[in-house]
Amino acid sequence: MADHRFEPETLAIHAGQIPDAATGARALPIYQTTSFVFDSADHAASLFNLQTFGNVYSRLSNPTVAVLEERVAALERGRAALASASGMAAEAMALLTLLQQGDHVVAAGALYGGSVSMLAVNLAKLGIETTFVDGASVDAFAAAIRPTTRAVFAESLGNPSLQVLDIAAVAEVAHAHGLPLVVDNTVPSPFLCNPIRFGADIVVHSATKYLGGHGTTLAGVMVESGKFPWDNGKFPGMTEPSKGYHGVKFFETFGDFGFTMRARMETLRVYGAALAPTSAWQILQGVETLPLRMERHCRNALAVARFLQADRRVGWVNYPGLPEHPDHALVARQMRSVDGVPGASGLLAFGVRGGLAAGVRFIEAAQMMSHLANIGDTRTLVIHPASTTHRQLDEAQQLAAGVAPDMVRISVGLEHVDDILWDIDQALAASAA
Amino acid sequence: MADDIAALRRILRSSRTIAIVGLSAEWHRPSFFAAKYMQEHGYRVIPVNPRYDEVLGERCHASLATIEVPIDIVDVFRRTEDVMPIAEQAIAIQAKCLWQQIGVKNEAAAALAAAAGLDVVMDRCVKIEHARLFGGLNWAGVNTGVISARRPI
């Protein structure tokens, strides 16, 4: 008899956590300890040899952190996951495990700025080169692949571009060249989109955003699909004896979760970007209500997008949940529907008539909406990228990065939609004054 | 084919002796990992491999036929095309389960064993399944698929 397949609403509450073996505690205990005792010298040897599963030191694994790992793996319909101290750390763990000096990456151009920095500056310093391509062009990904390419990287839903990746088409290109597709799925969250279903091999999250959802705690998670053929000849680090972990052959020994084990034992263990148990616990309090929150985020964001569309003080609106959005068909194909329409998450961008000065006036007039550089909070957040996050760039560079002078980004929160619309309306009045 | 959580739990819980066919004595080989793990979790491992006299403190047998103790699980670390004679021997020694490891998928051997009343498991690792269903694998961030409101036992 086949195992029952649990829905995401159930996985968000239960996956990874059964009542504590020692105490019967129903809610998740916080294992606030750096280290774990060995039963014997032989037990210690087995743990270090990875011949038995267990905890040694919380920089490698921790029972509280492991619940977050398994829960996100389950929500993504993946095989295994590795948590780390932030979304950037999760991305670094995935890429530093995959890549080495001389390797090449093909990445979508309009990525989150932190990801661009990691690829264009930090990984370049290690001798890993990245070619940035138009994320909307499947052919551009294919044309940029070289014999040394070892990864294709993109966002399922771009921030702040709100470009939607054709995951299946780009995965097909990557797989035709024996390469894994790495997808940052932060903006949709695993409730709205599961990139693995469409062929992604590794998914990364800033759990700081919708997974945690409350704007209190930093965390990141990397998920492995368990389906990539690491023995295709391009990834000797997966098939040859590990120099970083006394000769273990990760793919042969751990099979479909070999990449996660290697990321844990070779990369997380050495770079030390471990997630604190208390942070994992905080994020998990948020994950339990992820499905409920994402539905409300989608509902509120669509209402805000429709309001802005109809307002003469607004020049343009970019929200993939609108039927007029150029990527709306991709949203319909790849993302869960909410209230019978494609759920496009809570991020949108729009142009205030009057250019940069009007954009600044809008932000400064907001009463309840918070002016800050985060997304995926319970609170509605607003930012004017041209005067803040992208102010070091000139106008041409800003436009290349998808930032228009009049652009305001809103991360629509969970407040009553009438109150959000009221604040937007009064801030628009101020911007036009 | 035993492939669901309830059946795999029943097999692992009711078994005590495991004959591991193709067990390597080299510490970094997956079969050695699995054997050492199962020993540490209370199972008696009987090595079957003509290349060795002894592995993990147990006398090593050239074939299943010479084993004197009752065998619950015959765990196969051999190529798919080599499984059929092992299945026949497993039936002959009245083993209760024919377990083919990850990547080992001999459907005909599984069907033969099933027809003889054995439980059959295919393309799964005995160590990973034990750790998945009785605890341990979750600490490695693996999606175990276990959803339960009871303490792990």
Name which residue leads in pLDDT, A386 or A433: A386
Which residues in chain A have their CB less than 8 angstroms from residue B132's CB?
Answer: none
CA–CA gap between residue A267 and residue A47 (Å, rounded): 18
* pLDDT in the model for residue A161: 86
**A187 CB contacts (<8 Å, ≥6 apart)?**
A155, A156, A157, A158, A159, A209, A210, A345, A347, A375, A376
The answer, yes or no, to whether residue A328 has pLDDT greater than 90, is: yes
Residues of B in contact with A49 (CB under 8 A): 27, 33
Kindly list the residues from chain B whose CB atom is less than 8 angstroms away from the CB atom of residue A46: 36-37, 40
Domain boundaries of chain B, sorted by first residue:
5-140
Distance in angstroms (rounded) separating the CA atoms of residues A94 and A103:
14
Mutation for testing the B interface, residue in A3, A225, A251 having most B CBs under 10 Å: A3
User: Residue A160: what pLDDT?
Assistant: 84
Residue A46 or residue A323, greater confidence = A323
Higher pLDDT, A317 or B152: A317
Query: Which of B131, B141, B151 has its CB closest to that of A19?
Result: B151
pLDDT at A391: 81
Look at A19 and B142 and tell me if their CB atoms are within 8 Å. Answer: no
List C-alpha distances in Å: A10 to A87, A186, A295, A395, B148: 24, 20, 15, 47, 11
B102 touches chain A (CB under 8 A): yes
Beta bridge partners of B100: B76
Residue B152 pLDDT > 80: no
Q: Is the pLDDT of residue A256 over 90?
A: yes
Q: With pLDDT > 70 as the criterion, what percentage of chain A qualifies?
A: 100
Instruction: Round to whole Å and give the CA distance between A45 and A67.
Output: 25
- How, if at all, do strands A341-342 and A337-338 pair? antiparallel
| Angle at the Cα of A429 from the Cα atoms of A423 and A430, rounded to 5 degrees | 90
Chain B interface test: which of A53, A93, A259 (most B C-beta within 10 Å): A53
Q: How many CB pairs under 8 A join A and B?
A: 108
Tokens found for residue B39 = 């020993």
Cα distance between residue A75 and residue A27, in whole Å = 19
Is there a contact between A249 and B28 if contact means CB atoms under 8 Å apart? yes
Nearest-by-Cβ selection for A78 from B143, B147, B148: B143
Q: For B11-51, what is each residue's pLDDT tens digit?
A: 999 999 999 999 999 988 889 999 999 999 999 999 999 99
What's the pTM value of the predicted model, to 2 decimals?
0.95
ipTM of the prediction = 0.91
**B33 neighbors B130 (Cβ within 8 angstroms):** no
> What is the set of domains in chain A, with CATH numbers?
8-287 (3.40.640.10), 290-432 (3.90.1150.10)
Q: Give tens-digit pLDDT for A2-39.
A: 899 999 999 999 999 999 888 999 999 999 999 999 99
Cβ distance of B141 and A15 shorter than 8 Å? no
pLDDT of amino acid B153: 62
What six digits make up the tokens of A139? 């052919």
Q: Which residues of B touch A50 (CB under 8 A)?
A: 33
The predicted pLDDT at position A402 comes to 78
pLDDT for A432 equals: 86
Q: Which of A155, A184, A152, A149 is nearest to A171 (CA)?
A: A152
CA dist A341 → A27, A193, A333, A421, B108 (Å): 35, 14, 11, 21, 48
Q: What is the mean pLDDT of residues A173-199?
A: 98
Q: Which of A375, A374, A367, A370 is nearest to A419 (CA)?
A: A367
Confidence grade of residue A309 (pLDDT, cut at 50, 70, 90)? very high
Question: Mean pLDDT across chain A, nearest whole number?
Answer: 95
Enumerate the β-bridge partners of residue A108: A133
Q: Which amino acid is at A269?
A: R
Segments of A278-340 assigned E as strands: 314-318, 337-338
- The residue count for chain A: 433
Average pLDDT estimate for B139-151: 93
Give CA–CA dist B97/B79, Å, rounded. Answer: 18
Band of pLDDT at residue A102, cut at 50, 70 and 90: very high
Q: pLDDT of B88-129, one tens digit each?
A: 999 999 999 999 999 899 999 999 999 999 999 999 999 999
Q: Is the pLDDT of residue A244 over 90?
A: no
- For chain A, the 3-state helix, strand and coil shares in percent, each to the nearest 5, are 40, 15, 45
∠ at Cα A108 (A103, A110), nearest 5°?
Answer: 135
Calculate how close chain B gets to A170, using CA atoms only, in Å.
Answer: 26
Fold category of B5-140 in CATH: Rossmann fold (3.40.50)
For chain A, say whether B37 makes contact (Cβ under 8 Å).
Answer: yes
% of chain A residues with pLDDT over 90: 86
